[in-house]
Amino acid sequence: MSATLLQTPLHALHLELGAKMTPFAGYDLPVSYPSGVLAEHRHCRASAALFDVSHMGQVRLVGDEAAAALESLVPVDVLGLEPGKQRYAFFTNPSGGLLDDLMITRRAGDLLLVVNGACKQADIQHLQTHIGHRCTVQPLPDRALLALQGPKAAAALARLNGDVSKLVFMTAAAVTLAGVECDISRSGYTGEDGFEISVPAEHAVALAKALLALPEVKPAGLGARDTLRLEAGLCLYGHDIDATTTPVEAGLTWAIQKVRRAGGARHGRYPGAAAIDGQLATGPSRKRVGLVGLERVPVREGAVIVDAKGHRLGHVTSGTLAPTVNHPIAMAYLAANHALPNHEVYAEVRGKRQPMRVSPMPFTPHRYHRG
């Protein structure tokens, strides 16, 4: 089975570090290291954790028309994105569903996209089919991606290059780290301050080792990445959002700038614009919410949510016992009339109803460095 799985440039290092490996997005990736998911999660919240996210897709869009072309596929202001800035976005389908979510960075001569590993082939195809005639779509399979996350990530990375301290949340720059030219952004997927570091594959191991040698830094796997992002209220594509959920239902309308909405100068002209504008105007019939369990029982993906009379209200899309808040937490889609703060609902777990309360997200405060 492992013969059919792809490996990231850090694969041998993961094994050397004693990682437990798991198939994810077609890659053999570390789910945890010997210290375990809980310790890795806590280390990221307290210090700095290093994640290998090289399975994610990195794609350059090059050409004068690249930003305008990309706007035809995402409901996001790309033309207005200044050089050195980064923005969250998503590809939509004609019914307003989400094909993938991604990060866009405007660099001096191009746009750098980071997309989900499981979606990257489809995304590249989508880009080539729809905007390949307007700009060059260049996948970057020869680059690895590392994420250094946690309240001490900046202090740690500054030991390799003091310039990183100048970046604020959602900005990016080219910097030299351990003798290698890297593209870094101050962003991530844990709710903590931190960086994502794009590095040429042949230098990835040396850079990872240099980072792991820093006193603040320990490795963390996909298990901790999942519990961290869930506590931070961040969606996991394929679970909390997919082709059947719209950005309005998912509560991601903050990512649709005014200029792309009805009445804006560049409104519409992306797949599903009519459906999304319609939902923005009238409100969606269901909404993604956070839920906090009132008992200890973890509530996991797929659990049905009901009201006190047992009527079905929706279902859970992600859930775990949150290490930092020490309660069960979950994301779920609920009928809009039940998606109300502090509303009490019940999750069906092994035939029993577990009380939960609709809760604002994030479950743990974001601690981004906004300068």
Partner 1 sequence: MTTMYTPDHEWINIEDHEASTVGITHHAQDALGDVVFVDLPEVGRSFKKGEVAGVVESVKAAADLYMPVTGEVVEVNEALRADPSLANSDPLGNGWFFKVHISEVGMAEFDQLMDGPAYDKLLKSA
* Nearer CB in complex with partner 1: 300/366: 300
* Nearer CB in complex with partner 1: 20/134: 20
Residue that has been written with the tokens 């839920």 in this structure: 291
Neighbouring residues of 345: CB distance < 8 A, sequence distance ≥ 6:
291, 305, 306, 307, 313, 334, 338, 355, 356, 357, 358
Question: Is 370 near partner 1 (CB under 8 A)?
Answer: no
* Nearer CB in complex with partner 1: 89/222: 222
Smallest distance from partner 1 to CB 37, Å? 5
Give how far Cα 144 sits from Cα of 7, 189, 340, Å. Answer: 11, 17, 42
Question: Is 187 near partner 1 (CB under 8 A)?
Answer: no
Q: 21-60: which residues touch partner 1 (CB under 8 A)?
A: 31-32, 36-39, 41
Provide the residue type at 164 as one letter: V
Residue pair 81/23 in contact (Cβ under 8 Å)? The answer is: no
Smallest distance from partner 1 to CB 362, Å? 18
String of contacts with partner 1 for each residue 284-313, x by CB under 8 A: ------------xxx-x-------------
What's the half-sphere exposure (Cβ side, CA atoms, 13 Å) at 355? 6
Question: Is 323 near partner 1 (CB under 8 A)?
Answer: yes
Smallest distance from partner 1 to CB 16, Å? 19
Choose, by CB under 8 A, the member of 75, 223, 251, 284 that binds partner 1: 223
Residue pair 293/327 in contact (Cβ under 8 Å)? The answer is: yes
Based on C-alpha coordinates, what's the Rg of the chain?
Answer: 20
* Nearer CB in complex with partner 1: 251/362: 362
Question: Is 350 near partner 1 (CB under 8 A)?
Answer: yes
Query: Is the dihedral angle over the CA atoms 253, 254, 257, 258 positive or is it negative?
Result: positive
Question: Is 133 near partner 1 (CB under 8 A)?
Answer: no
* Nearer CB in complex with partner 1: 9/293: 293
Residue 338 DSSP label: G
Whole-angstrom distance, CA of residue 188 vs CA of residue 37: 18
Which residues contact partner 1 (rule: CB under 8 A)?
Answer: 20, 31-32, 36-39, 41, 223, 226-227, 296-298, 300, 320-321, 323, 350
